[in-house]
Amino acid sequence: MTVTLTTAGPLPSVQDAENTYDVTVVGAGVVGAAIARELARHRLRTALIDAADDIGNGTSKANTAILHTGFDAVPGSLEARLVREGQELLAAYAGETGIPVERVGALLVAWDEEQLAALPGLRAKAGRNGYHASRIIGADELRRREPHLGPGALGALEVPDESVICPWTTPLAFATQAVRAGVHLHLNCRVRDVGSDAGDHLLTTTRGPLRTRYLVNAAGLYADEIDRLLGHDVFTVTPRRGQLVVFDKLARGLVSHILLPVPGPAGKGVLVAPTVFGNVLLGPTAEDLDDRTATGSTAGGLRLLREKGRRIVPALLDEEVTAVYAGLRAATGQEDYRIQEYPARRYVAVGGIRSTGLTASMAIARHVRGLLADTGLDAGEPGPLPPLTMPNLGEAFPRPYRSAELIAGDPAYGTLVCHCEQVTLGEIRDALRATIPPHSLDGLRRRTRARGGRCQGFYCGAAVRALFEEARP
């Protein structure tokens, strides 16, 4: 296994045909990484490039971490189909590779008569989306199943297959498997321009030129900009900010299901959901912005979330907040994905992948693989991918600090560094030596949870930084 992962310096030479990539995927978020993994099955020279210093560093790192059934998608849309297929593919993949998933189920809680009256329609819509396991429950059963719910809940639509998933391990798993199968990963590599030369795409990047025969645009918030570099003017990404609040693990007992609001004219609304790390999430807001870098939280946003959260689960607001973050969804003003192939250009645009992108990622990848074939890519027969096991970050699965066997084999798994999240020296060391190592403390946190707990580094911050700096080449 030869791994090609670069973060600085010029890209592999483009002077000779041998160094021309067959396919280049721009954007190493969850969708781009899934596409790269799909292509890695074939004997192709594939590159996965990203402007950031890590995979999944844009929209993918800051979402609601839910593996959707697609029950509420627009029936007949591409998104509805890919979410449905993607959910099955990712659930199976998570099982194989150890990505933490918990099937906690969702409850769409009705807080007034109007919302209660909307539940049968939502159930019928779920049916049209091929999801038939939902059912309507009354106020008593709802109260029994969610005793900490605020007063006034009248009933709910139960969607038992909605799950929570690790949003960080998923793209990392895709990219790791892709890279191990021979895909080149180039980070800190922003596309400045796209030209053509002898039928190939000639990309100008911050790390020099890159030549590729086929191009896949999975640039998320910047997908429209890349699209325009190819001369199209089809869609515009309007970032929609979602601010989220993560509550301490001691709040986990307050919530059993993903508690969804009944969607209204103002969008999907604010949810309360458990996370696979054992926290509770409150959010997101939905703010349409112009600035694609505005990933800051605001006083108004946090106030709004706390107001909404207090109604849904009042006791939640008494718990400590361990993290506040904001992510930007790549909205395009159209209620569907914008996936388009351009055979004459040997190009596929993957735009408008909104909050369902995590769930749909593997199905999108399969779909794009098909579109690439339609544009003329002869990929040959697929081969097997190298098997992969990801380190477990989920509370519902065995963690190293609880494994006598693991500790007996290597005492580093019995040495806790981050006490709040119970992250061991062994896990931090493994992450720093992994196929795709972190290039920042935040990257290390997303791989191990170190410094991600209630103290946010009061106890372990300096120790974790020391380990990170020691390992940096």
Partner 1 sequence: MSAREVDVLIVGAGPAGLAAGAELAGAGAGRVEILEREQEAGGVPRHCHHGGFGGRLDRTVYAWAAATGSAYAGSGTSGPAYARRSVAAALDAGAALRTGVSVTGWAGPRTVETTGPGGLERITARAVVLATGARERPRSARLIPGTRPAGVWTTGELQQAVHLYGQRIGTTAVVVGGEPVAHAAVATLRAAGVHVVAVVTDRTPLPVLPRSRHVPLLTGATVTGLTGRARLTGVELRHDDGRTTTLRCDTVVLTGDFVPDHELARRGGLRLDPGTRGPAYDAAFRTSRPGVLAAGNLLHAVERAGFAAQEGRAVAVSVLHHLAGTEDPSGEGRRLVVDAPLRWIAPNVTGPHGARPTGDRFVLRTARRLLRPTLVVSQNGRELHRERLLLPAVPGRPIALRADWLDRVDPDGASVRISAR
- Regarding 298 and contact with partner 1 (CB under 8 A), the answer is yes
Q: Which one of 68, 186, 257, 367 is the catalytic residue?
A: 68
Helix or strand holding residue 84 (H, E): helix 78-97
- Regarding 3 and contact with partner 1 (CB under 8 A), the answer is no
- Regarding 299 and contact with partner 1 (CB under 8 A), the answer is yes
Q: Between 253 and 272, how does the x/- string for binding to partner 1 read (CB under 8 A)?
A: --------------------
* Of 145, 202, 190, 134, nearest in space to 345 by CA: 202
Contacts 24+ apart (CB under 8 A), 459-467: 459/418, 459/419, 459/420, 460/417, 460/418, 460/419, 460/420, 463/417, 464/417, 464/418, 464/428, 465/441, 467/417, 467/425, 467/428, 467/429, 467/432
The one among 401, 432, 435, 439 contacting partner 1 by CB under 8 A: 401
Cβ-based neighbour number of residue 293 at 10 Å:
9
The one among 160, 287, 459, 471 contacting partner 1 by CB under 8 A: 459
Closest contact distance (angstroms) between CB of 85 and partner 1 is 34
Select 366 or 465, whichever has its Cβ closest to partner 1: 465
Is there a catalytic annotation at residue 186? Answer: no
Which residues from 138-157 bind partner 1, rule CB under 8 A?
A: none
- Regarding 7 and contact with partner 1 (CB under 8 A), the answer is no
Helices (H), 98-201: 113-128, 139-145, 169-180
| Tokens coding 426 | 């062994």
- What is the three-class DSSP state of 451? coil
Q: Taking phi first (over 0 means left), then psi (-120 to 50 degrees means alpha), and beta for anything else, what does residue 376 get?
A: left
Select 5 or 416, whichever has its Cβ closest to partner 1: 416
- Regarding 402 and contact with partner 1 (CB under 8 A), the answer is yes
CA gap 167, 145 in Å, rounded: 26
Closest contact distance (angstroms) between CB of 116 and partner 1 is 33
The one among 210, 293, 376, 449 contacting partner 1 by CB under 8 A: 293
- Regarding 466 and contact with partner 1 (CB under 8 A), the answer is yes
Which residues of this chain interact with partner 1, rule CB under 8 A? 246, 249-250, 293, 295-299, 301-302, 320-325, 401-402, 404, 407-408, 411-412, 414-416, 419-420, 422, 440-442, 454-459, 461-463, 465-466, 469
| Catalytic residue list | 68
